[in-house]
Amino acid sequence: MPRSLREVVFVDGVRTPFGKAGPKGLYAETRADDLVIKCIRELMRRNPNLPPEKVEEVAIAATTQIGDQGLTLGRTAALLSGLPKSTPGYSIDRMCAGAMTAVASTAGQIAFGAIDVAIAGGVEHMGRHPMGEGVDPNPRIVAEQLVDPSALVMGKTAENLHDRFPQLTKERSDAYAVASQDKLAAAYAEGKIQPDLVSVATRSAAKGYGLAVEDEPPRPGTTIEDLGALKAPFRAHGRVTAGNAAGLNDGATACVLAAEETAKELGLPIKMRLVEFAFVGVEPEVMGIGPVPAAEKALAKAGLRIEDIGLFELNEAFAVQVLAFLDHFGIADDDPRVNPYGGAIATGHPLASSGVRLMNQLAAQFAEQPQVRYGMTAMCIGLGMGGAVIWENPHHADYGKEG
Protein backbone atom coordinates (compact mmCIF):
# COMPACT_ATOMS: atom_id res chain seq x y z
CA MET A 1 0.00 0.00 0.00
CA PRO A 2 1.26 3.53 -0.70
CA ARG A 3 2.52 5.29 2.40
CA SER A 4 3.16 8.95 3.12
CA LEU A 5 5.25 10.33 5.98
CA ARG A 6 3.64 12.51 8.64
CA GLU A 7 4.90 15.78 10.09
CA VAL A 8 6.45 15.51 13.56
CA VAL A 9 6.19 18.33 16.09
CA PHE A 10 7.85 19.19 19.39
CA VAL A 11 5.00 19.64 21.87
CA ASP A 12 6.75 20.46 25.13
CA GLY A 13 9.96 19.83 27.02
CA VAL A 14 11.28 20.14 30.55
CA ARG A 15 14.47 19.47 32.46
CA THR A 16 15.72 19.27 35.99
CA PRO A 17 18.10 21.93 37.20
CA PHE A 18 21.57 20.64 36.41
CA GLY A 19 23.87 19.84 39.33
CA LYS A 20 27.59 19.48 39.85
CA ALA A 21 28.77 15.88 39.91
CA GLY A 22 30.39 14.67 43.10
CA PRO A 23 29.72 14.16 46.80
CA LYS A 24 28.84 17.84 47.34
CA GLY A 25 26.58 18.20 44.30
CA LEU A 26 22.83 18.76 44.34
CA TYR A 27 21.99 15.19 43.43
CA ALA A 28 24.76 13.30 45.24
CA GLU A 29 22.16 11.20 47.06
CA THR A 30 19.43 11.25 44.40
CA ARG A 31 18.91 8.38 41.97
CA ALA A 32 19.45 9.00 38.26
CA ASP A 33 16.20 7.33 37.25
CA ASP A 34 14.25 9.49 39.70
CA LEU A 35 15.50 12.58 37.86
CA VAL A 36 14.07 11.51 34.53
CA ILE A 37 10.89 10.20 36.17
CA LYS A 38 10.37 13.67 37.62
CA CYS A 39 10.63 15.13 34.10
CA ILE A 40 8.11 12.69 32.63
CA ARG A 41 5.61 13.32 35.42
CA GLU A 42 5.99 17.07 34.96
CA LEU A 43 5.36 16.79 31.22
CA MET A 44 2.11 14.93 31.88
CA ARG A 45 1.09 17.46 34.53
CA ARG A 46 1.75 20.40 32.21
CA ASN A 47 -0.19 18.83 29.35
CA PRO A 48 -3.53 17.68 30.76
CA ASN A 49 -4.94 17.29 27.23
CA LEU A 50 -2.55 14.39 26.70
CA PRO A 51 -4.16 11.18 28.00
CA PRO A 52 -1.48 8.87 29.44
CA GLU A 53 -2.62 6.00 27.25
CA LYS A 54 -1.81 8.12 24.17
CA VAL A 55 1.92 7.95 24.99
CA GLU A 56 2.99 4.98 22.88
CA GLU A 57 6.76 5.01 23.39
CA VAL A 58 9.32 6.25 25.93
CA ALA A 59 12.94 6.50 24.76
CA ILE A 60 15.45 7.55 27.41
CA ALA A 61 19.18 7.92 26.82
CA ALA A 62 22.12 7.42 29.17
CA THR A 63 25.79 7.23 28.27
CA THR A 64 26.77 5.01 31.17
CA GLN A 65 24.04 2.38 31.28
CA ILE A 66 24.75 0.87 34.63
CA GLY A 67 23.15 0.84 38.07
CA ASP A 68 20.29 3.33 38.35
CA GLN A 69 20.87 4.34 34.71
CA GLY A 70 20.52 0.80 33.41
CA LEU A 71 17.84 -1.88 33.06
CA THR A 72 16.09 -0.56 29.92
CA LEU A 73 15.60 2.83 31.48
CA GLY A 74 12.89 3.96 29.06
CA ARG A 75 10.61 1.14 30.17
CA THR A 76 11.29 1.37 33.90
CA ALA A 77 10.93 5.17 33.83
CA ALA A 78 7.59 4.82 32.03
CA LEU A 79 6.32 2.42 34.68
CA LEU A 80 7.55 4.53 37.58
CA SER A 81 6.14 7.72 36.04
CA GLY A 82 2.62 6.37 36.20
CA LEU A 83 2.15 5.74 32.50
CA PRO A 84 0.04 2.70 31.62
CA LYS A 85 1.74 -0.68 31.68
CA SER A 86 0.88 -0.89 27.99
CA THR A 87 3.39 1.89 27.24
CA PRO A 88 6.69 0.38 26.05
CA GLY A 89 10.11 1.97 26.36
CA TYR A 90 13.77 1.52 25.54
CA SER A 91 17.21 2.91 26.23
CA ILE A 92 19.63 4.67 23.90
CA ASP A 93 23.37 5.37 23.99
CA ARG A 94 24.97 7.80 21.60
CA MET A 95 27.10 9.42 24.28
CA CYS A 96 26.45 13.21 24.40
CA ALA A 97 23.77 13.00 21.71
CA GLY A 98 21.66 10.42 23.53
CA ALA A 99 18.58 12.60 24.01
CA MET A 100 18.98 14.03 20.51
CA THR A 101 19.01 10.49 19.16
CA ALA A 102 15.99 9.57 21.29
CA VAL A 103 14.14 12.45 19.64
CA ALA A 104 15.26 11.42 16.15
CA SER A 105 14.40 7.76 16.73
CA THR A 106 10.91 8.35 18.08
CA ALA A 107 10.30 10.99 15.42
CA GLY A 108 10.97 8.29 12.84
CA GLN A 109 8.37 6.06 14.45
CA ILE A 110 5.84 8.89 14.40
CA ALA A 111 6.59 9.93 10.82
CA PHE A 112 6.26 6.31 9.68
CA GLY A 113 2.86 6.04 11.35
CA ALA A 114 3.81 3.36 13.86
CA ILE A 115 2.91 5.62 16.81
CA ASP A 116 1.29 9.03 17.34
CA VAL A 117 2.91 10.32 20.54
CA ALA A 118 6.23 9.64 22.26
CA ILE A 119 8.32 10.88 25.16
CA ALA A 120 12.06 11.20 24.52
CA GLY A 121 14.83 12.38 26.82
CA GLY A 122 18.01 11.54 28.64
CA VAL A 123 19.70 11.45 32.00
CA GLU A 124 23.25 11.41 33.26
CA HIS A 125 24.39 11.15 36.86
CA MET A 126 28.11 11.65 36.39
CA GLY A 127 28.63 11.78 40.13
CA ARG A 128 27.40 8.22 40.52
CA HIS A 129 28.54 6.97 37.13
CA PRO A 130 31.57 8.67 35.55
CA MET A 131 31.74 8.34 31.79
CA GLY A 132 33.34 5.01 30.95
CA GLU A 133 32.56 3.31 34.26
CA GLY A 134 32.67 -0.45 33.85
CA VAL A 135 33.51 -0.42 30.14
CA ASP A 136 36.16 -2.58 28.50
CA PRO A 137 37.24 -0.98 25.19
CA ASN A 138 38.55 -3.48 22.68
CA PRO A 139 42.34 -3.00 22.68
CA ARG A 140 42.41 -3.34 18.90
CA ILE A 141 40.85 0.14 18.62
CA VAL A 142 44.21 1.59 19.60
CA ALA A 143 46.56 -1.34 18.88
CA GLU A 144 45.55 -1.52 15.22
CA GLN A 145 45.77 2.26 14.97
CA LEU A 146 42.09 2.68 14.21
CA VAL A 147 42.25 5.71 16.46
CA ASP A 148 44.88 7.62 18.39
CA PRO A 149 44.74 7.02 22.18
CA SER A 150 43.78 10.68 22.65
CA ALA A 151 40.44 9.92 21.00
CA LEU A 152 39.29 8.17 24.18
CA VAL A 153 39.74 11.31 26.30
CA MET A 154 37.36 14.07 25.28
CA GLY A 155 39.53 16.88 26.65
CA LYS A 156 42.45 15.68 24.58
CA THR A 157 40.32 15.70 21.45
CA ALA A 158 39.57 19.35 22.15
CA GLU A 159 43.29 20.06 22.41
CA ASN A 160 43.71 18.29 19.05
CA LEU A 161 41.12 20.63 17.58
CA HIS A 162 43.14 23.62 18.77
CA ASP A 163 46.16 22.06 17.03
CA ARG A 164 44.33 21.54 13.77
CA PHE A 165 42.93 25.07 13.66
CA PRO A 166 45.55 27.42 15.14
CA GLN A 167 43.26 30.41 14.72
CA LEU A 168 41.06 28.91 17.44
CA THR A 169 43.18 30.32 20.25
CA LYS A 170 42.80 29.92 23.98
CA GLU A 171 42.00 33.62 24.16
CA ARG A 172 39.04 33.16 21.84
CA SER A 173 37.87 30.12 23.80
CA ASP A 174 38.07 32.01 27.09
CA ALA A 175 36.23 35.00 25.66
CA TYR A 176 33.51 32.71 24.32
CA ALA A 177 33.22 31.00 27.72
CA VAL A 178 32.84 34.31 29.58
CA ALA A 179 30.10 35.32 27.13
CA SER A 180 28.27 32.03 27.78
CA GLN A 181 28.28 32.73 31.52
CA ASP A 182 27.07 36.29 30.95
CA LYS A 183 24.26 35.25 28.61
CA LEU A 184 22.99 32.59 31.00
CA ALA A 185 23.02 35.05 33.90
CA ALA A 186 21.02 37.53 31.82
CA ALA A 187 18.55 34.82 30.77
CA TYR A 188 18.00 33.84 34.41
CA ALA A 189 17.53 37.51 35.37
CA GLU A 190 14.90 37.86 32.63
CA GLY A 191 13.08 34.67 33.65
CA LYS A 192 13.82 32.83 30.43
CA ILE A 193 15.35 29.66 31.90
CA GLN A 194 12.94 29.01 34.76
CA PRO A 195 9.94 27.87 32.65
CA ASP A 196 11.90 24.82 31.46
CA LEU A 197 12.82 23.70 34.97
CA VAL A 198 11.05 21.17 37.16
CA SER A 199 11.92 21.42 40.85
CA VAL A 200 13.46 18.32 42.39
CA ALA A 201 13.39 17.37 46.07
CA THR A 202 16.87 16.42 47.25
CA ARG A 203 18.28 14.69 50.29
CA SER A 204 21.66 14.92 51.95
CA ALA A 205 22.75 12.97 55.01
CA ALA A 206 24.72 16.02 56.10
CA LYS A 207 22.38 18.84 55.04
CA GLY A 208 18.95 17.21 55.25
CA TYR A 209 16.23 17.77 52.67
CA GLY A 210 16.31 20.48 50.02
CA LEU A 211 14.77 21.61 46.75
CA ALA A 212 16.72 22.06 43.52
CA VAL A 213 15.20 25.01 41.66
CA GLU A 214 18.08 26.35 39.54
CA ASP A 215 21.26 25.17 37.89
CA GLU A 216 24.25 24.64 40.17
CA PRO A 217 27.19 24.92 37.70
CA PRO A 218 26.93 28.57 36.52
CA ARG A 219 29.67 30.97 37.57
CA PRO A 220 28.18 34.42 36.96
CA GLY A 221 30.68 37.23 36.94
CA THR A 222 33.49 35.09 35.53
CA THR A 223 36.17 37.20 33.86
CA ILE A 224 38.85 36.62 31.25
CA GLU A 225 41.40 37.06 34.04
CA ASP A 226 39.74 34.34 36.09
CA LEU A 227 39.94 31.88 33.21
CA GLY A 228 43.51 32.82 32.39
CA ALA A 229 44.64 31.58 35.79
CA LEU A 230 43.22 28.07 35.35
CA LYS A 231 45.40 25.05 34.68
CA ALA A 232 45.18 22.98 31.50
CA PRO A 233 44.68 19.39 32.75
CA PHE A 234 44.93 17.57 29.43
CA ARG A 235 48.31 18.83 28.20
CA ALA A 236 51.23 20.85 29.46
CA HIS A 237 50.75 24.43 28.28
CA GLY A 238 47.38 23.37 26.87
CA ARG A 239 44.41 25.51 26.00
CA VAL A 240 41.46 23.51 27.34
CA THR A 241 40.56 24.30 30.96
CA ALA A 242 37.66 23.85 33.34
CA GLY A 243 36.65 27.39 32.46
CA ASN A 244 36.23 26.99 28.70
CA ALA A 245 34.68 23.52 28.80
CA ALA A 246 31.50 22.06 30.23
CA GLY A 247 31.88 20.45 33.64
CA LEU A 248 30.91 17.06 35.03
CA ASN A 249 27.23 17.24 35.79
CA ASP A 250 24.04 15.46 36.84
CA GLY A 251 20.61 16.09 35.33
CA ALA A 252 17.75 14.89 33.16
CA THR A 253 15.52 16.09 30.32
CA ALA A 254 12.37 14.89 28.57
CA CYS A 255 10.05 16.09 25.83
CA VAL A 256 6.80 15.15 24.12
CA LEU A 257 6.79 14.58 20.36
CA ALA A 258 3.67 13.97 18.32
CA ALA A 259 2.31 13.74 14.83
CA GLU A 260 1.16 17.23 13.90
CA GLU A 261 -2.37 16.03 13.19
CA THR A 262 -2.52 14.27 16.57
CA ALA A 263 -1.30 17.35 18.42
CA LYS A 264 -4.03 19.40 16.78
CA GLU A 265 -6.71 16.80 17.53
CA LEU A 266 -5.74 16.70 21.23
CA GLY A 267 -5.30 20.45 21.56
CA LEU A 268 -1.61 20.15 22.42
CA PRO A 269 0.81 23.02 21.88
CA ILE A 270 3.04 22.95 18.82
CA LYS A 271 6.34 24.62 19.66
CA MET A 272 8.44 23.42 16.71
CA ARG A 273 8.18 21.26 13.58
CA LEU A 274 10.96 18.80 12.82
CA VAL A 275 12.41 19.55 9.38
CA GLU A 276 15.47 17.29 9.07
CA PHE A 277 18.21 15.64 11.09
CA ALA A 278 21.58 14.06 10.42
CA PHE A 279 24.24 12.16 12.32
CA VAL A 280 27.72 11.65 10.89
CA GLY A 281 31.06 10.14 11.80
CA VAL A 282 34.37 12.05 11.85
CA GLU A 283 37.90 11.31 12.98
CA PRO A 284 37.60 10.37 16.67
CA GLU A 285 40.74 12.35 17.48
CA VAL A 286 38.95 15.60 16.58
CA MET A 287 35.40 14.66 17.49
CA GLY A 288 34.58 18.33 18.14
CA ILE A 289 34.39 19.02 14.41
CA GLY A 290 31.42 16.63 14.15
CA PRO A 291 28.63 19.26 14.07
CA VAL A 292 30.06 20.78 10.88
CA PRO A 293 29.45 17.86 8.48
CA ALA A 294 26.28 16.95 10.40
CA ALA A 295 24.89 20.44 9.79
CA GLU A 296 25.97 20.34 6.15
CA LYS A 297 24.23 17.01 5.61
CA ALA A 298 21.02 18.11 7.34
CA LEU A 299 20.94 21.37 5.39
CA ALA A 300 21.48 19.57 2.08
CA LYS A 301 18.72 17.06 2.82
CA ALA A 302 16.36 19.90 3.76
CA GLY A 303 17.24 22.00 0.73
CA LEU A 304 18.38 24.86 2.96
CA ARG A 305 21.53 26.94 3.39
CA ILE A 306 23.27 28.00 6.56
CA GLU A 307 21.97 31.52 5.88
CA ASP A 308 18.41 30.21 6.32
CA ILE A 309 19.07 29.33 9.95
CA GLY A 310 18.02 32.20 12.18
CA LEU A 311 18.83 30.64 15.56
CA PHE A 312 21.44 28.13 16.68
CA GLU A 313 21.55 26.08 19.87
CA LEU A 314 25.02 24.52 19.85
CA ASN A 315 26.11 22.31 22.71
CA GLU A 316 29.19 23.77 24.37
CA ALA A 317 31.09 20.65 25.34
CA PHE A 318 34.19 22.77 24.70
CA ALA A 319 34.42 26.37 23.52
CA VAL A 320 36.88 25.39 20.78
CA GLN A 321 34.36 22.98 19.32
CA VAL A 322 31.73 25.71 18.96
CA LEU A 323 34.31 28.10 17.51
CA ALA A 324 35.29 25.51 14.90
CA PHE A 325 31.64 25.37 13.78
CA LEU A 326 31.31 29.15 13.68
CA ASP A 327 34.55 29.63 11.75
CA HIS A 328 33.60 27.02 9.18
CA PHE A 329 30.31 28.74 8.41
CA GLY A 330 31.64 32.29 8.64
CA ILE A 331 29.67 33.16 11.77
CA ALA A 332 31.11 35.62 14.29
CA ASP A 333 32.04 34.39 17.77
CA ASP A 334 29.50 36.81 19.28
CA ASP A 335 26.70 36.38 16.72
CA PRO A 336 23.41 36.97 18.59
CA ARG A 337 21.78 34.03 16.79
CA VAL A 338 24.05 31.59 18.64
CA ASN A 339 23.06 30.33 22.11
CA PRO A 340 21.20 33.50 23.15
CA TYR A 341 20.62 32.06 26.65
CA GLY A 342 24.17 30.80 27.10
CA GLY A 343 25.19 27.18 26.84
CA ALA A 344 26.67 24.12 28.48
CA ILE A 345 29.85 25.88 29.60
CA ALA A 346 27.55 27.75 31.98
CA THR A 347 24.55 25.46 32.52
CA GLY A 348 26.44 22.18 32.62
CA HIS A 349 26.39 19.16 30.33
CA PRO A 350 24.96 15.95 31.80
CA LEU A 351 25.99 14.07 28.66
CA ALA A 352 23.01 12.12 27.31
CA SER A 353 20.43 14.64 28.54
CA SER A 354 21.73 17.75 26.79
CA GLY A 355 20.08 17.42 23.38
CA VAL A 356 16.62 18.17 24.75
CA ARG A 357 17.93 21.17 26.71
CA LEU A 358 19.00 22.64 23.37
CA MET A 359 15.53 21.99 21.96
CA ASN A 360 13.74 23.51 24.95
CA GLN A 361 15.74 26.69 24.58
CA LEU A 362 15.26 26.88 20.81
CA ALA A 363 11.50 26.47 21.24
CA ALA A 364 11.42 29.39 23.69
CA GLN A 365 13.46 31.55 21.33
CA PHE A 366 11.12 30.71 18.43
CA ALA A 367 8.21 32.09 20.47
CA GLU A 368 10.20 35.26 21.18
CA GLN A 369 11.28 35.73 17.56
CA PRO A 370 8.44 34.89 15.15
CA GLN A 371 10.41 36.46 12.29
CA VAL A 372 12.85 33.52 12.45
CA ARG A 373 11.65 30.58 10.38
CA TYR A 374 14.35 27.93 10.92
CA GLY A 375 16.60 27.00 13.81
CA MET A 376 19.21 24.32 14.43
CA THR A 377 20.28 22.25 17.41
CA ALA A 378 23.69 20.62 16.99
CA MET A 379 26.37 18.92 19.04
CA CYS A 380 29.63 17.00 18.88
CA ILE A 381 29.59 13.39 20.04
CA GLY A 382 32.27 11.27 21.66
CA LEU A 383 34.20 8.69 19.60
CA GLY A 384 34.02 10.94 16.56
CA MET A 385 30.47 11.87 15.62
CA GLY A 386 28.26 14.89 15.16
CA GLY A 387 24.52 15.48 15.16
CA ALA A 388 22.30 18.28 13.86
CA VAL A 389 18.54 18.80 13.85
CA ILE A 390 16.73 21.52 11.88
CA TRP A 391 13.43 22.86 13.22
CA GLU A 392 10.77 25.19 11.83
CA ASN A 393 9.13 27.95 13.87
CA PRO A 394 5.32 27.57 14.01
CA HIS A 395 5.02 31.28 14.86
CA HIS A 396 6.48 32.29 11.48
CA ALA A 397 4.08 33.62 8.85
CA ASP A 398 5.25 31.00 6.33
CA TYR A 399 5.12 28.03 8.71
CA GLY A 400 4.37 24.82 6.89
CA LYS A 401 4.77 26.29 3.42
CA GLU A 402 7.35 25.01 0.97
CA GLY A 403 10.70 26.71 1.63
Q: Per-residue confidence at 403, pLDDT binned at 50, 70, 90?
A: low
Does residue 226 fall inside a structural domain? yes
Looking at the 3D structure of the chain, how many domains does it have? Answer: 1
- Please state, in angstroms and rounded to a whole number, the distance separating the CA atoms of residues 375 and 391: 5
- Please state, in angstroms and rounded to a whole number, the distance separating the CA atoms of residues 268 and 114: 20
Does residue 34 fall inside a structural domain? yes
Does residue 400 fall inside a structural domain? no
Strands 58-61 and 117-125: parallel
Residue 144: exposed, middle, or buried by beta-carbon count in 10 A (0-12, 13-18, 19+)? Answer: exposed
349 is catalytic: yes
For 103-140, the pLDDT digits (tens) are 999 999 999 999 999 999 999 999 999 988 888 888 88
- Domain with 37, as residue range(s), is 8-128+138-392
Does residue 184 fall inside a structural domain? yes
pTM, two decimals, is 0.96
Query: DSSP letters of 312-361?
Result: EEE--SBHHHHHHHHHHTT--TT-TTB-TT--HHHH---GGGHHHHHHHH
Q: Kindly provide the residue ranges of all beta strands, DSSP E only, lying in 16-57, ordered along the sequence.
A: 19-20
- Please state, in angstroms and rounded to a whole number, the distance separating the CA atoms of residues 299 and 390: 8
Does residue 133 fall inside a structural domain? no
Point out the catalytic residue in the list 39, 162, 255, 380: 380
Does residue 312 fall inside a structural domain? yes
How large a percentage of the chain has pLDDT more than 70? 100
Work out the average pLDDT over 217-230.
96
How does DSSP classify residue 16? P
Work out the average pLDDT over 95-101.
97
Does residue 203 fall inside a structural domain? yes
380 is catalytic: yes
- Please state, in angstroms and rounded to a whole number, the distance separating the CA atoms of residues 296 and 168: 21
Point out the catalytic residue in the list 96, 125, 129, 255: 96
Which CATH number is 55's domain given? 3.40.47.10
Work out the average pLDDT over 362-373.
98
Mention every residue, 6+ apart, whose C-beta is less than 8 A from residue 311: 337, 340, 362, 365, 366, 369, 372, 375, 376
Q: Per-residue confidence at 257, pLDDT binned at 50, 70, 90?
A: very high
Work out the average pLDDT over 366-387.
97
For 285-324, the pLDDT digits (tens) are 999 999 999 999 999 999 999 999 999 999 999 999 999 9
For 22-47, the pLDDT digits (tens) are 999 999 999 999 999 999 999 999 99
328 is catalytic: no
* pLDDT, averaged across the chain: 96
Does residue 397 fall inside a structural domain? no
